Amino acid sequence: MAETRKEKTRFMKTLLIIPAYNEARNIAGVARSVAEAGYDFIVVNDGSTDSTLKVCRENSLPVLDLKHNLGIGGAVQAGHKYALEHGYDADVQFDGDGQHDVNYVAPLLELLEKGADLAIGSRFCGDSDGFKSSAMRRIGIRWLAGCIKLFAGKRVTDPTSGFRACNRRAIELFCRNYPTDYPEPESIVTALKNGLEVQEASVIMHERAGGASSIRALSSVYYMIKVSLAIAIMSFSRSRRAS
């Protein structure tokens, strides 16, 4: 089934962006699954302090090596710029920690073919029975979904999902303007503010194969306040320009 769906999207020149920070234990396996599915990919080594870069080179993986840690936003934006410079029609953010399933890339690309500019893989739409994060994080996700609905007028069920596909229009936008700190919810508002069509597809995600999440318990309060304020401020700025 996955192969059949991929065949439908083969006319789109697609790059999978794999941001990696200290993912030495996971990156070879993740890259192998992407290569076996037939997708082009680039690993963005975000200034890792472990042997991530060494593992990439030992396994002859295409890698964009950032000398300093830019955070997930900077790493993903570097991938978008690489995709734009190399003439890709679409790119897909695909985490280097083993959470994302390559079989769900095709449904995201299908949304792009049907008119979406940004397609988000959601754990919470449809009947997905995969890993959905902790109870506290699900509360945070619902809060951010409410903020986006309130300030940007769009219901997005999984605003923190890092499994997402962009067409050329979204790639060009994010090359110019992409949040650096916890970018996923803010980038949705950026897309909506600029008139892009945002849609979701149901996906199954897995627990991390190893390593640690970039959002930890001690930073969760900062995360929620920072992102909520950013969404509100972006919406206010949009309203002022429209008036």
Does 242 have pLDDT greater than 50? no
Q: What is the CATH number of the domain that holds 178?
A: 3.90.550.10
Number of domains in the chain: 1
Does 6 have pLDDT greater than 70? no
- pLDDT tens by residue, 135-168: 777 888 999 999 999 989 999 999 999 999 999 9
Q: Kindly state the tokens that stand for 41.
A: 């990919």
Q: Kindly state the tokens that stand for 217.
A: 């318990």
Name beta bridge partners: 18.
43
In a domain, 243, yes or no: no
Domain that holds residue 207: 2-238
**What residue has token string 């790639």?**
171
In a domain, 216, yes or no: yes
In a domain, 72, yes or no: yes
CB-based burial, 139-177: b 16+ in 10 Å, e otherwise:
ebbeebbebbeebbebebbbbbbbbbbbbbbbbebbbee
When mean pLDDT is compared across 17-21, 133-137, 154-158, 230-234, the lowest value belongs to: 133-137
In a domain, 187, yes or no: yes
Does 231 have pLDDT greater than 60? yes
- Determine the Cα angle at 115 with ends 112 and 117, to 5°: 60
- pLDDT tens by residue, 75-95: 999 999 999 999 999 999 999
